[in-house]
Structure 1
Amino acid sequence: MNRKDFLTASAIIAASTMYSPSHAFALVDEKIRVGLIGANGMGWANLNALLKDNRVVCTALCDVDENVLQKRSDELAQRGITVKRYIDYKELLQDNVVDAVIIATPDHWHTLQMVDAVNAGKHVYVEKPIGNSIRECEVMVAAAQRNKSIVQVGQWQRSQQHFRDAIDFVHSGKLGKIRLVKAWSYVGWKKSILPKPDGLAPDGVHYDKWLGPARTRPFNPNRFHFEFRWFWDYAGGLMTDWGVHMLDYALLGMKVSDPISVMATGGKFADPNGAAETPDTLTAVYQFDDFNIQWEHALGIDLGPYNRTHGVAFIGNNGTLILNREGWEVIPEKEHIQAVPLQKSSDNGLEKHMVNFADAITKKDATKLNAPIEVGAHIAIFSQMGNIAYRTDKKLFWDKNQRKFTDKEANKYLVSQYHNGYKLPKV
């Protein structure tokens, strides 16, 4: 896939894909048969939200932790749902009782599993961030388009009505000239990770399959299950965990794609001796022609901007619009515009996102998706830029035509390093 073509395809203002599935897709008994890859945490939440749609049935589960696999299959059995169980996701993909899959594994697995899934003729719901590097995201877009697959990304806020209403207000021009957009996430409940010794993986855990393309190292509980996201081998910390949600709306509101430059500073300020690798405190600034987007995050504290734990704020000459999962409001600058009181959220974004996914599959039309692969790729790439600026400790300039930085050191981070015989898929 030509990099210039990727830029066009992944523009953040795109709300739909430019392809429709052409391969045969027949629903058995009018049901969409779904398999779940990664049955812990968000994967389980995704599946349960999708199963509220009576067009969907779960037929298979896959997890490299047999303890999780047993627990989830038992819970489904109690609801009268019988599933096949797999340790190896490739065996699940070969099963003809699966039409679509949910991928909710650690970030470093997303690319391999998503590409294998669309190559196997499955439609995909993949958790965010879709990839753990910029090049991975590009490969995933190319694979989905080549296979003409329906791929929804877990940016479920794209299906929530109050987010759309807020962006409509931003686009109305009532805020006046917007000179700064702030996006943030403060996570007070997440405390420091105390160092723990390496040891043996728990019984039932297929640790080699969990590591996959990540570098081989002894098992450590700090790097397993939810905590994986604080280590560079598997994820990008809070920058890519929450950044993909809030920064997505910063870009959507401003109708922009690639920044001119990005710089970032931060560190392990809350606990320098903690086990995590990713920064617990970070500020990143993205430069555009006539405004900036600023990201900030902090673990261990809740008091973020405007007394909100997370959000995005569009700061204009006439007023500021503040938006998060609870709702949105407008604070006027003096008397330039009228205040808009808090417009509270009134729907379930995750459930609506799953209905949207099922609709696209049933209608065989990827243009119906609210968060297609191009959208997920673009915001994951944008968030990765902030991490790369932090890791290089430089102000980096982005060449949007070449799809790389002008700095050689920074470009070393464009692609994830694969190990243990795994290779980045070629599409």
Structure 2
Amino acid sequence: MSNRRTFIKSSAFLAGSLALSPSILYAKSQVAASDKIRVALIGCNNMGLGILRHHIALPEVECVAICDVDQNILDKRIAEVGTATGKKPQRFTDFRKLLELKDLDAVIIGTPDHWHCLIAVAACQAGKDVYVEKPMANSIGECDLMAQAASKYSRIMQVGQQQRAGQAFIESRDLVKSGYLGKIRKVNIWSNFNYGLGNEFKPATAIPSGVDYDFWLGPAPKREFNPNRFHGSWRHFWDYGGGLMSDWGVHLLDMAIWVEDNPSAPGHVMTYASNVNKENRDRDTFDTMNVLFPKKDFLINYDMNGGLQTGPYGKPYGIAYVGDLGTLVVNRSGYEIYPEWDPTAEANKIEAKKLEGTTESHNLHVANFVECIKTRNEPNCPPEAGRIAALHAHIPNIAARVGAESLVWDDAKRKFIGNKEANELIFPEYRKPWVLPKI
């Protein structure tokens, strides 16, 4: 096992502590300056910080800058990283100034989804590689622009769909692709989480001290400040995110797409969506959805229930690959195969298999990104994979928003067939002075 993997797994930093272990600090001191990978974090409140943790736990990675529009969070993170690493990152409140840094190799984008495209494209244009949280962007069109930018400027872009680095999912994919389950008929997916209901209504408040709220809104419409639309809960509003569908859905749908012979954008999408729990809930997005994606290889069936915490096989979320010979059920903690019974042979058609005790794979996904910065190889989740996964989340959301039970997407033409309202939601309308990037 490489030193990198050893350092990742031994670091207390990955357990949530901001203190790097002495072995990691020593390893960092042994890396020549010419071999260091210098990264910056843009958007440092929650997931952004978590992804940065995994970066700086690698011996060759150094955090040189952090940027946020909330100075309270920004100052806290700069102090924490400085204490953990012995080197305080530079402080920025405008990502454009950060991207002017010459000694910067890559940026981590941990902002709300509506900022992903502007920052990622600007980073590519500035010659920086990009790790961008999922979903890739907050609209179909913006995902396309990001993929174009990564290609045009020859940048490594890793989309944060870290399950592609997870042991349970890799082994599951290999079992499906090998034919072990026989012919795959359908892939059933479910995600049941309480937070999908959104928050209870709260009154508008004054903008918190130290927050540049106008910059936080950026290209999104002007709105009065409300804590429900800010840290932690912004994803329940179309201006900034896509709810439970684009938060968890994009992860799970990606695992269904991953086993296709030739992973492709959805063509025909059938959607049922509703807000079943309407009592005192402040949100735009839906708490209940069922979506069918008829694909060339099999049917994908997605079932989402915000406000519930139980699901099939006793799991709140998961994926079931349903084959003629058996069904494989997987989530981040492992997988299990349930064989079909052969009444003639009076035996299972295949051997039952189980993998238990697997854990999160953010660290491995980050390590893959850093390795690809050095080798220029394609990462685990390149832009096109991120774009296709995002389409599987955005199209059902669009269908629900325009009241269409069925939508047909022409990926070659990048438009919906016969639905003007849906086509109007492919790109967002940016608020001035922000302008949709041109590649």
Q: Output the TM-score relative to the length of structure 1.
A: 0.90
The question of 1:149 aligning with 2:116 is answered: no
Report the Cα distance in structure 1 between the residues aligned to 2:411 and 2:88, rounded to whole angstroms: 49
Q: Give the CA deviation at 1:290.
A: 6.2
Structure 1 pair 306–358 and aligned structure 2 pair: CA distance change class (3 A): same
The equivalent residue for 1:319 is: 326
Report the Cα distance in structure 2 between the residues aligned to 1:82 and 1:313, rounded to whole angstroms: 46
Report the Cα distance in structure 2 between the residues aligned to 1:182 and 1:146, rounded to whole angstroms: 37
Report the Cα distance in structure 2 between the residues aligned to 1:294 and 1:198, rounded to whole angstroms: 39
The equivalent residue for 2:34 is: 29
Q: Give the CA deviation at 1:207.
A: 0.3
The question of 1:332 aligning with 2:348 is answered: no
Work out which structure has the larger RCO, using CA pairs closer than 8 Å and 6 or more positions apart in sequence. Answer: 1
Q: Which runs of 5+ in 2 are unaligned?
A: 1-31, 343-347
Aligned 1:204-353 pairs, distance under 5 A: 204-255=210-261, 256-289=263-296, 291-335=298-342, 336-346=348-358, 348-353=360-365
Q: Output the aligned Cα RMSD.
A: 1.6
Q: Give the CA deviation at 1:71.
A: 0.9
The equivalent residue for 1:7 is: none
Q: Give the CA deviation at 1:55.
A: 0.5
Deviation per residue, 1:157-211 (Å, 9 max, x gap): 1112221111111112232222221112111356541111112210000001100
Residue type of the partner of 1:40?
N
Report the Cα distance in structure 1 between the residues aligned to 2:425 and 2:195, rounded to whole angstroms: 30
Q: Output the TM-score relative to the length of structure 2.
A: 0.87
Residue type of the partner of 1:421?
P
Structure 2 counterpart of 1:39, from 41, 44, 53: 44
DSSP-derived class of the 1:148 partner: coil
The equivalent residue for 2:167 is: 161
Q: Give the CA deviation at 1:372.
A: 1.2
Deviation per residue, 1:46-71 (Å, 9 max, x gap): 00011110000111010000000011
Report the Cα distance in structure 2 between the residues aligned to 1:88 and 1:426, rounded to whole angstroms: 20
Q: Give the CA deviation at 1:278.
A: 0.4
Deviation per residue, 1:198-232 (Å, 9 max, x gap): 12210000001100000001011000011000000
The equivalent residue for 1:421 is: 433
Residue type of the partner of 1:50?
H
The question of 1:137 aligning with 2:143 is answered: yes
Residue type of the partner of 1:316?
G
Report the Cα distance in structure 1 between the residues aligned to 2:91 and 2:173, rounded to whole angstroms: 42
Structure 2 counterpart of 1:403, from 395, 401, 414: 414
Q: Give the CA deviation at 1:361.
A: 1.1
Identity %: 43
DSSP-derived class of the 1:421 partner: coil
Q: Which runs of 5+ in 1 are unaligned?
A: 1-26
Number of residue pairs matched by the alignment: 399
The equivalent residue for 2:396 is: 386
DSSP-derived class of the 1:418 partner: coil
Structure 1 pair 192–104 and aligned structure 2 pair: CA distance change class (3 A): closer
DSSP-derived class of the 1:115 partner: helix
Structure 1 pair 225–173 and aligned structure 2 pair: CA distance change class (3 A): same
